[in-house]
Amino acid sequence: MSLHSRLHTLSVIHEQGIMPLFYHKDAELGKEVLRACYAAGGRLLEFTNRGDFAHEVFRELNVFARKELPDMVLGVGSINDAATAALYLQLGASFIVSASLREDVALVCNRRKVPYLPGCATLTEIGRAEELGCEIVKLFPGSVYGPEFIKSVRGPQPWTSIMPTGGVTTELDNLKGWFSAGAVCVGLGSQLIGNSVLSDRDFSGLTDSVRDALKIAKDLRS
C-alpha cells in the first residue's frame, strides 16, 4: 500500500507545482534520477508505465525511495486499465495518472484511497472525473489546448484543479503562462529529464534543473 496518505499526496502536488516524469528500464539509473530530484528539493515524481517489466523497475525504485528518500511521493503514469492500476497500487504507488479518463481506474483508486489524475479535455470529462472523486485532472496534451483552456474552465468552475502535461517547458514565460491561467501543477517529462541527461548520466545537472524549476514555480505562485 501507499506510504503516503491521499491528503498528503495531494498537498505535495499542490505545494510543489512541478511533477517530473520519466521512464527508464535501468532501475539503477532510475535511483540516481530520484536521488538527483530529491537533492534539489523535489518530493514528487511520476514513473511512466511504458516499457516491458516496468512494474518490476517501479518496485525496485519504490523500495529504494522508502529506505533512502522517505519523503518522496512516487506515483505511476500511463495507466490504462484497472488491473494495471491495482498492480501498481499493490507495489505502493502514491498516485495514479492516465492519459484519458478511465472510470474503472477511478473506482480502484478510490477504494484504496489513492489519488487518481485522469486525462481530460472537455468540461464533460472534467465534471465526470470530479464526480468520480478525482481532485486533480490532467490536461493532455497541454500543447493542443494551451493555458487559455485552463483559464476558461476555471471561470465557471473555480474549484477545478488542472495539471497540464505535454507542451510544458522549464522556460520562465512558458511556466508563467500555465500558472497565471490557474494550473495547480505542471508535468515535465523530456523537457526536464531528457535523453541527454540519462545517456550522459548528468545527475548534478539534473539537480540544478529541478531546483531552478521548483524555484520558478514557487516565485510565480507566491
155 lies in some domain:
yes
Q: Where are the alpha helices (DSSP H) in the chain?
A: 6-16, 27-39, 54-68, 82-90, 103-111, 123-131, 142-145, 147-154, 172-181, 195-200, 203-221
- At 50-70, the pLDDT tens digits run 999 999 999 999 999 999 999
Q: Cα–Cα–Cα angle for 66, 136, 25, nearest 5°?
A: 45
pLDDT at 47 over 90: yes
* Whole-angstrom distance, CA of residue 177 vs CA of residue 17: 14
The torsion angles phi and psi of 211, rounded to 5 degrees, stand at -60, -45
44 lies in some domain:
yes
pTM value? 0.97
The torsion angles phi and psi of 44, rounded to 5 degrees, stand at -150, 135
1 lies in some domain:
no
Q: Count the domains in the chain.
A: 1
CATH number of the domain within which 191 lies: 3.20.20.70
Full residue range of the structural domain in which residue 83 is found: 6-221
What does DSSP say about strands 96-97 and 116-117: parallel, antiparallel, or unpaired? parallel
23 lies in some domain:
yes
The continuous run of DSSP H or E covering 18 comes out as strand 18-22
145 lies in some domain:
yes
208 lies in some domain:
yes
- At 165-189, the pLDDT tens digits run 999 999 999 999 999 999 999 999 9
Report which DSSP code applies to 165.
B
128 lies in some domain:
yes
- At 111-158, the pLDDT tens digits run 999 999 999 999 999 999 999 999 999 999 999 999 999 999 999 999
